[in-house]
């Protein structure tokens, strides 16, 4: 097996020792974690190949995994251990573009991988899993600590959780004793409030809340994590982070891609369920949260939960004044013609599924009263970008009368760019050189890749490490999940009961339907030109 991994072509080669400087090694020792086994359900799927295995290998190469660690992959596909290892090595070379690969280190990592073909509804399969876990507990000295990663269709979540309980694999719910079980649940966490509550009830039958890690990869992105540092470690920002100084906030998640062959899934989900209910509302909660009393996971999650609880419910009798939906038609992206949503594979020719949403939110608390939060998300838009833009209030008096006639005094804007190029910029006014006072708007820019001279870790890398460490700060809690669904479910029900819309209503390659511009223009604002 080792030769198979070693003989695969290597795109980037670095000695493992060269990846670690003394400071990194000291940090690794400081962050020592307990031994454990990670069990991945759905291990032959795209998520495992594209995200999970590259993230785990990167942690392994940096010595951020415990010395006593192994992975068990489960799926319906018939494979043995060596075939699974070879498949994962090939996936590393195909998908892990940002991870430096060393042949020897990859071979060592592959020796920690095991595979069990499994029918998730078969009791005997979970008995076999229990036996393999016990075997590897001795071989890899994992002490019986287990992390179960649900990388399967959501329809299998409850079935797998029940099978883990029947096979006595969930362990104790009381306290944080060793050996411990933990479970990582991929979104979506339900498809409405009722199903989210049912999923949470089933999880809590087997696991305690501190053992449940609902993963939202947006929360693992460096810029998202940096929001708290920006606010709470810099005395210049937090005093301004309120309704007295901020006029409005814009959050944009724009994709140029379509449904990428996932038409059947997207027909069931739609943009509001797929992105807004989780990713976008989580961003709102981090931007708007109060300072926590500590960085303990429960303290930070308490503050995010308070924000979600404070978001004003939509007036369903005036829903069009607060939320807009759209669906893309044919158009051009990057000079190439692309089909409309209804022309995608496994999509109904009369589909009413939204591929775009724009919302105006209000947070009814002391800090944010009457400050609109504009959120938009969509597929087949003009540019692929995710950012948060904080628009400060304009200077109260137009002091510089010698500026050009009709020239508007723009507001200062603080932009947190989450992807593709993570960074922060601040827009401010300056005088252009010359005999007259002519204002020019410039930006101070900070980019992660140039500032630190290193590749930004992937979101999954950070989140997997946090789970192994037992730190749930960046994971969604039961109350936050249900609060988000309490806000969104009435909208979904109103849409389902309402009249059919004249879709498509925006062209691929545009910035969404005209109604989205009208939504924000009603407040005399406009979406940022990205």
100-157 pLDDT, tens digit per residue, is: 888 899 999 999 999 999 888 888 899 999 999 999 999 999 999 999 999 998 999 9
420-447 per-position pLDDT tens digit:
888 898 888 777 787 777 777 777 888 8
Can you count the helices (H) and strands (E) in the chain? Answer: 17, 18
Q: Provide CATH code, domain 220-521.
A: 3.30.360.10
235-249 per-position pLDDT tens digit:
999 999 999 999 999
Largest CA distance in the chain: 84
Using DSSP, state whether 448 is helix, strand or coil. helix
Comparing 2-219 with 220-521, is the CATH topology the same?
no
Polymer length of the chain: 530
- Least confident residue range of 7-11, 252-256, 275-279, 389-393: 7-11
Q: What is the pLDDT of residue 386?
A: 94
Residue showing tokens 């359900």: 41
Q: 407 falls in which pLDDT band (50, 70, 90)? A: low
- Considering the entire predicted model, what is its pTM? 0.88
Q: Which DSSP helix (H) or strand (E) runs through 126?
A: helix 123-139
From residue 185, alpha-carbon distances to 140, 274, 474 in Å are: 25, 15, 13
Of 1-15, 261-275, 301-315, 396-410, the range with the highest mean pLDDT is: 301-315
Angle, vertex CA 166, rays to CA 164 and CA 168, nearest 5: 70
Number of neighbouring beta carbons within 10 Å of residue 469: 13
DSSP string, 138-183: HHTT-TT-EEEEE-S-GGGHHHHHHHHHHTT-S---STTPSS-EEE
Q: How far apart are CA 207 and CA 160, in angstroms?
A: 13
- Least confident residue range of 297-306, 314-323, 417-426: 417-426
24 vs 88: which has the higher pLDDT? 88
Q: How far apart are CA 224 and CA 228, in angstroms?
A: 8
Answer whether 189's CB lies under 8 Å from 196's CB. Answer: yes
Q: Among residues 140, 217, 248, 279, which one is catalytic?
A: 279
Among 221, 208, 290, 172, residue whose Cα is nearest residue 477: 208
- Fold for domain 2-219? Rossmann fold (3.40.50)
279 is catalytic: yes
Answer whether 428's CB lies under 8 Å from 416's CB. Answer: no
Give the residue-averaged pLDDT of 21-31. Answer: 43
- Domain parsing of the chain, residue ranges: 2-219, 220-521
According to the 3-state scheme, what is the secondary structure of 260-308?
CCCHHHHHHHHHHHHHHHHHHHHHHHHHHCCCCCCCCHHHHHHHHHHHH
DSSP string, 24-59: HHHHHHHT----EEEEEETTTSHHIIIIIHHHHHHH
């Amino acid at each position: 097996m080792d030769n198979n991994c070693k003989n695969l072509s290597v795109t980037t080669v670095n000695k493992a020792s060269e990846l670690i400087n003394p400071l990194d090694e000291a940090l690794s020792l400081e962050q020592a974690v307990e031994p454990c086994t990670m069990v991945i359900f759905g291990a032959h799927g795209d998520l495992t190949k594209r995200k999970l295995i590259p993230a785990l290998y990167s942690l392994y190469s940096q010595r951020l995994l415990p010395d006593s660690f192994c992975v068990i992959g489960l799926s319906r596909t018939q494979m043995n251990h060596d075939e699974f290892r070879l498949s994962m090595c090939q996936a590393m070379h195909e998908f892990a573009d940002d991870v430096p690969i060393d042949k020897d280190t990859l071979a060592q990592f592959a020796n920690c991988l095991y595979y069990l073909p499994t029918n998730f509804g078969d009791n005997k399969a979970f008995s076999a899993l229990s036996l393999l876990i016990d075997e590897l507990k001795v071989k890899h000295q994992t002490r019986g600590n287990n992390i179960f990663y649900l990388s399967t269709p959501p329809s299998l979540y409850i079935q797998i959780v029940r099978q883990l309980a029947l096979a006595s694999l969930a362990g104790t719910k009381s306290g944080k004793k060793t050996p411990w079980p933990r479970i990582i649940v991929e979104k979506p966490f339900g498809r409405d409030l009722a199903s989210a509550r049912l999923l949470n009830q089933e999880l809590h039958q087997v696991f305690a809340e501190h053992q449940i890690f609902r993963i939202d990869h947006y929360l693992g992105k460096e810029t998202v994590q940096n929001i708290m540092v920006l606010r709470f470690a810099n005395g210049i920002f937090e005093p301004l982070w309120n309704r007295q100084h901020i006029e409005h906030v814009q959050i944009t998640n724009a994709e140029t891609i379509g449904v990428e062959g996932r038409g059947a899934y997207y027909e069931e989900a739609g943009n509001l369920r797929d992105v807004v209910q989780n990713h976008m509302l989580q961003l709102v909660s981090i931007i708007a949260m109060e300072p926590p009393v500590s960085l303990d996971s429960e303290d930070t999650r308490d503050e995010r939960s308070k924000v979600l609880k404070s978001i004003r419910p939509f007036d369903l009798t005036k829903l069009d004044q607060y939320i807009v939906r759209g669906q893309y038609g044919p158009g051009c992206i990057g000079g190439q013609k692309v089909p409309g949503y209804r022309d995608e594979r496994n999509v109904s020719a009369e589909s009413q599924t939204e591929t775009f949403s724009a919302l105006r939110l209000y947070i009814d608390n002391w800090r944010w009263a009457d400050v609109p939060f504009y959120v938009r998300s969509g597929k087949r838009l003009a540019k692929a970008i995710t950012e948060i833009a904080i628009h400060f209030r304009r200077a109260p008096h137009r002091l510089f009368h010698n500026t050009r006639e009709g020239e508007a005094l723009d507001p200062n804007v603080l932009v947190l760019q989450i992807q593709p190029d993570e960074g922060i910029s601040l827009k401010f006014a300056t005088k252009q050189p010359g005999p007259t006072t002519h204002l020019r708007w410039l930006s101070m820019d900070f980019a992660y890749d140039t500032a630190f001279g290193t590749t930004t870790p992937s979101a999954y890398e950070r989140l997997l490490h946090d789970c192994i460490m037992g730190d749930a700060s960046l994971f969604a809690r039961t109350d936050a999940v249900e609060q988000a669904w309490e806000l969104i479910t009435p909208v979904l029900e109103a849409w389902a009961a309402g009249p059919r819309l004249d879709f498509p209503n925006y062209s691929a390659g545009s910035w969404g339907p005209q109604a989205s511009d009208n939504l924000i223009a009603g407040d005399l604002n406009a979406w940022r030109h990205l």
